[in-house]
Each structure stands twice: as structure tokens, then as C-alpha cells.
Amino acid sequence: MEHLKVNTIGVLTSGGDSPGMNAAVRAVVRTALGENMRVYGIRFGYAGLLENDMVEMNMKSVSDCLQRGGTILYTARSKEFAAPEGVEKAARILRQAEIDGLVVIGGDGSFRGARDLTAAGIPCIGIPGTIDNDIACSDYTIGFDTAVNTVIESVDKLRDTSKSHHRCSVVEVMGRNAGYIAIHAGIACGAIAALVPEVPFDIDRDVCDRIKKTLHLGRSHFIVMVSEGVGNTEEIARYIKAQTGVDTRATILGHVQRGGSPTGRDRIIASRMGYYAVKLLRSGFGGRVVAIREDNIVDYDIDEALSFHKDMDRELYHLVGTISI
């Protein structure tokens, strides 16, 4: 969809929150205002849109939010919006508010909603915001760097007590279907192994045998990084202890990984993407997803973006085990 007249836009955050979403919202609002456009913030994602929960935003609306985690627009999931009737209702509400286009910050599920709204006559631009870094059309997603750094900080502290007790710590990180946090944090934290859903593993060969080998070399404490989609972390810890004799404990970091002040990288990329999204709408384009490729901001047709497949970098995966022994 293109060559549409867009004078008033909306912006919402949808799905799981991620650090840097506020930077993207800020960039959208301030770029739009700089283009003499009106901009409405829609609270609580698609669920809030169906409740007509929106407010017109100005420069002050996004003051002092750049460094804050979470999302000032809040987020939620909506079963009602998933139905065709929900999409039509949302489009009708946007038309009644005289909103000509919408910026949607979120993951694949949020982009499918943006695609449906575009088909219903409301041009949408998607911005990838998820800590999992699993949007296939983009090299990077907003929030990933902050989440990895949160894991690193936590594991560095955990390592102190693991070393004191000659212990193995099995650390579960977020990533139900994607192991990017586990791999990147595993490298940064010196994990002896990283178990991810994309790569089949043998726990004896890939974990227990490595621990036994390094025990003979004099090493006495270990970190094993596990993506939440791999399986029961407590059971993995019990098995490692039974096979190696090393006291092994499971630590589940949970939603702490979603929070915190965004890193510089997340703030900058979010700002670039928000700016680019508004420029697309202002130029009359809809049904697009903003992405970053080789440090360049680009955009794809939303159906094309949803059809991409993102492969795990096997070199990074093997690097974890290679340099940890």
C-alpha cells in the first residue's frame, strides 16, 4: 500500500515489553511533530485500541523517557483483535479518530496484526521490539542488547558464589523458541555450554563430558546457559550433578531480563527505526516492517518480512564450547 495522504498517526507497543521501546516511541512522536503531523499514543496495544484508549501526544509527552525500561504506552495481548471482527473494529476506531496510519512496535505477532490492519485500510509500519532477537528480517531487535547485558551482570554475581562453593550453575534465560540470549551471554560469561532450542544436543557429550574434562585440568566451577525452550532446567541440573559429582544448582532469571534502563545501542537503534517509520508513513507507504541489515535501516513488505527464516549462527554456538574449556 502506498501513496496515501498521512497527516495523523498512532503509535502502540504490543506483546512482550523490551528496553528501548520508549526510545522508539519518543522518536516516532518527535519526528511526526517535526513533520507537522498529529500523533496519538495508543495504550495497552491492540487491546487498548479496541477500547479506544488513546491520547494525543506532544513533545512533553515523551520527555525523560529515553532512559526508562518498559513502555510508557504499556502493552497487552488481545484475543479479540485476533479475530477478523476485532480487526474491523480496530480499523473503524482508527478511522473515527481520523488516524491515517499506525506504527506498531513489537514482534511477529504484532506484525501480523499490523498486516491485517493494513489490509483493512489502515497503513501500518512495524518496528521490531523484542529481547529475543528473533525477528527474521532484521539482524537486530530492540531490547536484545540490554537483555544480554542484564544476564551478564546477573551471572557475574552468580559466578562469585559458584566459585566459592565449587559449584555448577545452570542458568535459564529467556528465549522459548530462540537461543540468541543464551549464546551471546554464554560467550560473554565464559559458559562451558549453551543449550538452545535450534540445535540438538547430547547432555552427556556437550555438558557432562566437558565438565569432567575440565575438572581434571583443575577447574572447579562452571556456568551452563540454557534457553527456556530447551526443557526443565531443574532436571538438567540434577542430571549434571548425578553424572559429574559436582554440586549443581539451577537459577531461573525470568522477567528481570525484560527490565532495566536500555543500553546505548538499544536507544540509538530504536531512535533510528522510529524516525524511519514515520518517514515511511509520511511518504505514503504502509504495510512495511523496518529492519536493520549490516547497520543500515531498511524496510520490507510485511508479508515478505513474516516469511523470512532466521538461522542460528552455528559459528557462535560452537564458539561457546571451544573457548570455555
- Catalogue the active-site residues: 132
Q: Are 120 and 93 in contact (CB under 8 A)?
A: no
Cβ atoms of residues 143 and 21 within 8 Å:
yes
Q: Where are the beta strands (DSSP E) in 29-134?
A: 38-42, 54-56, 101-106, 124-128
Are 300 and 146 spatial neighbours (Cβ–Cβ below 8 Å)? no
> Any bridge partners for residue 109, and if so which?
none
- Phi and psi, residue 106, nearest 5°: 175, -155
Q: How many CB atoms lie within 10 A of CB 203?
A: 17
DSSP structural state of residue 142 = B
User: CA torsion angle for 129, 130, 134, 136 (degrees, to 10)?
Assistant: -10
Burial 95-132 (b: 16+ CB within 10 A, else e): eebebbbbbbbbbbebbbbbbbbbebebbbbbbbbbbb
CB 23 within 8 A of CB 271: yes
169-to-158, 195, 263, 324 alpha-carbon distances in Å: 8, 13, 26, 15
8 Å CB contact between 269 and 142: yes
Residues 280 and 6 sit within 8 Å (Cβ to Cβ): no
Taking alpha carbons only, the member of 95, 76, 87, 104 closest to residue 15 is 76
Q: Whole-angstrom Cα distance, residue 15 to residue 293? A: 23
